[in-house]
A and B are shown apart, each in its own frame.
Chain A
Amino acid sequence: MFALVKFFHRSPVRMAELACGLLTTLLLLGSLDAQALPLFARQTGQNCLSCHAGGQFPELTPYGRMFKMTGYTIGARTVPISVMGVATYSKVADTSKSDDPAADFQKNGAPLFATGSLFLGGKVTDNIGAFAQVTYDNYAGQAVGDSGNNDGRFQGHTNADNMDFRYADHLIDDKRDFVYGLSVNNNPSVSDPWNTAPAWMQYVPVPSPTSSQFIDGNAPFASFGSGGNIAGVSAYMFWNKTIYAELGTYQTANRGLSFLSAGINDANTTKLQGSNNPYWRLAYSHEWGAHNIMVGATGMIAHIYDLGSDTSDPGNLGRVKNTGLDAQYQYLLDPHTITAQLSYMRQVQDYSPNTLLNFASPFVLADGLTPVAAANPSDTTNVFRAKLGYVYQAKYGGSVAFFNKTGTANTLNQSSGFDTNGQITSTDPLGTGIASTRVTGNLSGNPATRGFTYEAFWMPIQNIRIGAQYTAYSKFNGATDNYDGLGRNARDNNTLFLYVWGAY
């Protein structure tokens, strides 16, 4: 299996190769098992809805959580491969307040084959199982033409996505039900069984073109500052289906562990100091009748080199501390599935000395003279998200989500501002050398972003979901109106996002 991941690492798969690979895989699976489903479903022979609440992957049912906690070892060994593909369509409300709509809203209103994933995993032995996702992003970057400049064509790219390798055991007698295990994974909380965990609450794959930059998947979610594609090991236990505890630590995914960040170039790989970057999780769970509830807390401290990839200079070392709370309620009884989710994450980020040393704001105050305030050495953000969802007959579903991000204002995060003529321009016609950023710009240096996402979906068959999301912002980058200083309002970013998501 690692050989395969390595293979991806060494030779980035091109579109044609991928299509060919997917086809072969499909034929292979098709010939092996007439009612073939994604690999875990094949392993237990069950319908997706046994493990996914109302069939809405990836949200897990109590049984799905146990399947995961016992290391993906329930069932019979089977073809360890699944494929997933996502086709999307994004449309941003206002594309006029931009200097270069073609760049700011790439592929706006165009149907895309956005991403494809290959999953390897399942039961290996009675105690060992795996979940490894390798994702092909059809729009990862732009091609460089003969002139050496971007020629506007997109280029695909394949890299390691979520990975989780486990050893688990389950001890059961009259009074005790005890699951314990070890997970080697590449994303803090990817090992978590609940879907309010940072790695799981955002689930629809996010397309790379900029027309998708405001879809729900890119709106604030409780997340860890470290990001993914790092290497971690954690030990966990679940006691009497009541208390879940997990403790782990992460390091840079390099050397023997580089397959955990395969396909991510060095500059984009998170660099952590040493292996003392602890992650913890504690949750209380209870099931009664058709209901179940979880209330939990989590956290992580990551020592991150926040300035490029140079880890030799200790001056490049910053620190991010996350502490979060989450809760989930599910009601699961055919034909109804109800899910309520809450998540909250506080993040304190201390910037590295060099980041602060190198920082000199190009902007001045409106008088065209007074320098803006010095950068704060530290920022705090709070992200809150609540979501209520309903699925009928594991076929028709909908949800409403509210998100709210608040935090400290910092000139370090300001990307629009006044030039020495007391003006805000993105084109710098007077040659002051100071240009503000449009569309993504932040005039206040404040991250506050707030809004709602409404979603409706339909699952014509259990492995296909067709969905529509509408995300409406009442605040973006710290303001309701004119957040970039160039006239763009939060609601201009409202986005309609359609997707067809299939897994096999």
Chain B
Amino acid sequence: MNYKHIFLAMTLGAIGAGCSNIERSRDLANPAVPGHVLAVQVCAICHGVDGNSTSPAFPRLAGQQAAYIVNQLKNFRAQGRSDPAGSEYMWGLSHHLTDAQIDDIAAYYAKQKVVAPDVPTDPKLMAAGKDIFENGVPAQNVIACAACHGPKGQGIEAFPRIANQHADYIVKQLNVFQINQGRPGTPMEFIAHPLTGDNKDAVAAYLQDFPN
């Protein structure tokens, strides 16, 4: 075997292929690469190929409202959503995305089927979370989550789906709205403000294990 030839073949192969492979590209700066291609080639590594990420470090995007995904990606691109994980992971990836690519990515995830995470939840926590979700916490002036996120937590348009999201991610976002202010200008600021640590844990656990 002659390595020089293999090397040469690799180089020539690349040049021959016109140096781009649009249908399986991971190029985040080429506007010709369709959004759904980037979704499976790049985003899928963290968010899952069907948007049902396994690791709670990465939010689930399956069945998410397209309008919400578009908003968030444009927010990341404009470096407006600035909570630490958002800037560390998502600013760079969204930096060169075009509006058309963003629409395509959003449509791709919106149509994916939600597979509920298989995590056992303490029934007492479930009951407490259900109560907050459906009735809010009137004593603390917290409105029912269902009022905006829908009776099944499925969301609508700019109101995100929160059902079956990772509990760890939900708690982190509630903290962002409440403390970190990395996602300014949304009603969640005043919703999250009065929530206690126990409230957040309960509603997050309930949402993660949302009964379908």
Contact = CB atoms under 8 A, between A and B. Distances in A.
28 contacts: A41-B92, A44-B28, A44-B92, A44-B93, A45-B28, A49-B88, A62-B55, A63-B46, A73-B26, A75-B27, A125-B21, A126-B21, A126-B22, A126-B27, A127-B21, A167-B14, A172-B49, A177-B49, A184-B6, A184-B10, A233-B1, A233-B3, A255-B4, A256-B4, A256-B7, A289-B55, A290-B55, A333-B56
A264 interface: no
A255 B5 CA distance: 13
Given A66-B45, A289-B54, A126 B4 contact: no
Contacts of A66: 45
Contacts of B42: 74
Contact of A287 (B1, B28, B49, B54): B54
Contacts of B54: 287-289
Given A184-B6, A257-B4, A332 B92 contact: no
A333 to B, nearest CB: 5
Contacts of B147: none
A352 interface: no
Contacts of B85: 334
A76 interface: yes
Nearest to B15: A125
7 closest pairs, A vs B, by CB? Answer: A45-B92, A76-B29, A47-B88, A125-B19, A126-B21, A256-B4, A74-B26
B121 to A, nearest CB: 14
Interface in A65-122: 66-67, 70, 73-77
B192 to A, nearest CB: 19
A249 B6 CA distance: 13
Contacts of A357: none
Contacts of B45: 62-63, 66-67
Contacts of A47: 87-89
A169 interface: yes
A289 B56 contact: yes
Contacts of B29: 75-77
Provide the main secondary structure of the chain B interface: helix
A46 interface: yes
B96 to A, nearest CB: 6
Interface in B21-64: 21-22, 24-29, 40-42, 44-46, 49, 54-57
A128 interface: yes
Interface of B: 1, 3-4, 6-7, 10, 13-14, 17, 19-22, 24-29, 40-42, 44-46, 49, 54-57, 85, 87-89, 91-93, 95-96, 119, 168, 172
Provide the main secondary structure of the chain A interface: mixed
A334 B180 CA distance: 15
A474 interface: no
A74 B28 contact: yes
A285 B14 CA distance: 30
Contacts of A251: 3
**Interface size class of chain A, counting residues whose CB lies under 8 Å from the partner chain:** 35 or more
Nearest to A45: B92
Nearest to B40: A172
A231 interface: yes
Contacts of A233: 1, 3, 6
A141 B71 CA distance: 58
Contacts of B49: 172, 177
A456 interface: no
Contacts of A257: 3-4
A75 B26 contact: yes
B14 A46 contact: no
Interface in A164-211: 165, 167, 169-172, 177, 182, 184
A275 interface: yes
Nearest to A287: B54
Given A45-B93, A47-B87, A177-B49, 14 more contacts: A41-B92, A45-B95, A47-B89, A76-B28, A76-B29, A125-B17, A126-B26, A128-B10, A165-B10, A171-B24, A256-B4, A275-B3, A289-B55, A333-B57
Contacts of B57: 290, 332-334
A257 to B, nearest CB: 6
A32 to B, nearest CB: 14
A333 B6 contact: no
A290 B3 contact: no
Contact of A167 (B13, B41, B89, B119): B13
A400 interface: no
